[in-house]
Structure 1
Amino acid sequence: MKKVKIFFSFLIILGALTSPSLSDTCGMDRKKLGDWFVSHGSPDLILEPIPQYVGSVDEDPYADPANPPDDPNTSGVCGIQWSDETNDAGLRKYWLRNFENETLAMNSNFSVTHKGHCASCSYPQDLGVYIRQNLTSATRECGILGSLSHNLMRNCLLDLGFSLPCVTIWEWNILNTKAECFGVCVWSYITNEPFNKPDGSLNDCLQCDEDKSGPNFKFFSGRTRRNSGIISEIYRPPDTIYNMEHCYWYGDL
């Protein structure tokens, strides 16, 4: 089992060295850049107009079998633009906006922050959380705490640095995965199963989460690690990770 983990760690490192899609931090230290986005990208700084799905997910999206909605523009991107307006602490406010493609975003002086439409995790704060740490094990631990108390689960996710709107879709995702995949995921956790099988496919727990919870999570969160160009502890083929860098900070890091 240990050899399998080492093998897939090697694959991730090899992919990072050979694929431009994995140079996501624009040459900056990962934790330093992540911390900057967390401290400069609060939802409190967003300006009107706010895109439709940006904000808290107050109702369980998994309760409606019609979800997720059809995405009318699968080639779209979520863009960010910093304003000259600042809050009392001197932090610049920003806009998030949906665009049909990268070119239209850049022509409007917006930086692409992730592939797909903007939604509850599109804030720069949540980008910083994704950039600065591997989250697969950490969010799984938050899910385990959810078996004891919903507040423990929420506080665990907030302690990772996520914005409250982003936490809401993570909560629905965790609860749905618990309902749909409990047995297989408990076994995976007890046996400390590697995230990937020897053939590179996901383990049964992660595959269950991908199938049962993934579509709604991707739609209502907006941002994921893959569509933000960020690698994780889970091996993914490099061609499934969006090719981008996050070079749009301002001032000194």
Structure 2
Amino acid sequence: MYGDRQMIRGTRLNIVQCECYSSRHLIGIIKRNNDYDPPVMPTSACCGGDGINYPTQEAACTNGTYPLHGGYCGACSSHQDINIFNITRNNMTNIATKCAVKYVLFGKNSAIRCMNKTVALSIECTECWVENMGCDAAHCMTKCAIDRILHVNNTKPDGSLNDCLACDEGYCGKPFIVCSGANRRRSGIMSDIDRPQDTIWKRYAC
């Protein structure tokens, strides 16, 4: 028990759901969203280079480490994964979209192989990306198929996300960031998706 929050045992079914037990008895299926970790900036919290969550960048520096990215740590909170986010900043969305098509047509393992072949993310980080594809397949497949067929730009003329990315953000963005910890915005990386500057993390301490 932590304050008014109770810790229970369970198994992660997918990026958005956990199967939870009390003793050996199934309680039910619950959402695994972290209500305390916002999906986008601004947030003062950061993941330190030592893999520990800190309330501020200054707190990380005081503890003898440095801010690795904004928000809490997760499966992608490593130098390897963040470096790959930077290297693929101009084409990661396209890579993930192609692998997502394989997910829909041939299943999860095909999408994993696609990601492993095109980007060398860690196993744990890849799992987050592929689970996100499953979330998109469940909630956004029609919108994303239409946008892909029509070769719609990632953002509309008014600066808002296209229908596919907006759907992904609404349904799958938060569970993805809870799983991954780091994404491109949280790592301070400008990407192939034009984002408002105030949603992109900036390191200012240490």
State the TM-score, normalizing by the size of structure 1: 0.65
Equivalent position to 2:35, from 53, 59, 70: 70
Given the alignment of the two structures, is residue 152 of structure 1 paired with residue 110 of structure 2, yes or no?
yes
Moved over 3 A (4+): none
Count of matched residue pairs: 176
Q: Secondary structure at the match of 2:138?
A: helix
Instruction: Say if 2:176 is the partner of 1:211.
Output: no
Q: Spell out, residue by residue over 1:182-235, the C-alpha distance to the aligned partner (whole angstroms, 9 max, x if none).
A: 111101111111111111100001000000100111112100111110011111
Higher relative contact order (CA 8 A, sep 6+): 1
Tell me if 1:226 matches 2:185.
yes
What's the counterpart of residue 52 of structure 1?
A: none
Q: Determine if contact 1:61/1:68 at 8 Å carries over to the other structure.
A: no
Counterparts of 1:123 and 1:155, CA distance in 2:
21
Which position in structure 1 is the counterpart of 2:6? none
Alignment map for 1:122-137 (pairs within 5 Å): 122-133=77-88, 134=90, 135-137=92-94
Aligned to 1:34: none
Q: How does 1:82-101 map to 2 (within 5 A)?
A: 95-101=50-56
Find out whether 1:176 has 2:135 as its counterpart.
yes
Q: Name whichever structure is richer in helix by fraction.
A: 1
Percent identical among aligned pairs is 32
State the Cα distance separating 1:69 from its structure 2 match.
2.0
Structure 2 distance, partners of 1:242, 1:195, is: 20
3-state SS, counterpart of residue 161 of structure 2: coil
Letter in 1 for 2:97: R
Residue-by-residue CA offset, 1:91-119 (whole Å, 9 max, x unaligned): xxxx3111111111011221111011111
Q: Which amino acid aligns with 1:103?
A: E
Task: Give me the whole-angstrom Cα distance separating, in 2, the residues matched to 1:216 and 1:100.
Answer: 21
Give ranges in structure 2 of 5+ residues lacking alignment.
Answer: 1-10, 19-29
Pick from 29, 44, 63 the counterpart of residue 108 of structure 1: 63
Q: CA RMSD in A?
A: 2.0
> What 5-or-longer segments of structure 1 have no aligned partner?
1-56, 81-94, 248-253
User: What letter corresponds to residue 60 of structure 2 in structure 1?
Assistant: A
> Which residue identity is paired with 2:33?
P
SS at match of 2:44: coil
2:106 aligns to what SS in structure 1?
coil
Tell me the residue number matched to 1:79.
48
Q: Distance in 2 between matches of 1:181 and 1:122?
A: 27
User: Is the CA contact (8 Å cut-off) linking 2:15 and 2:135 kept in structure 1?
Assistant: no
* Distance in 2 between residues matched to 1:138 and 1:58, nearest whole Å: 26
Instruction: Please state if 1:192 is matched with 2:151.
Output: yes
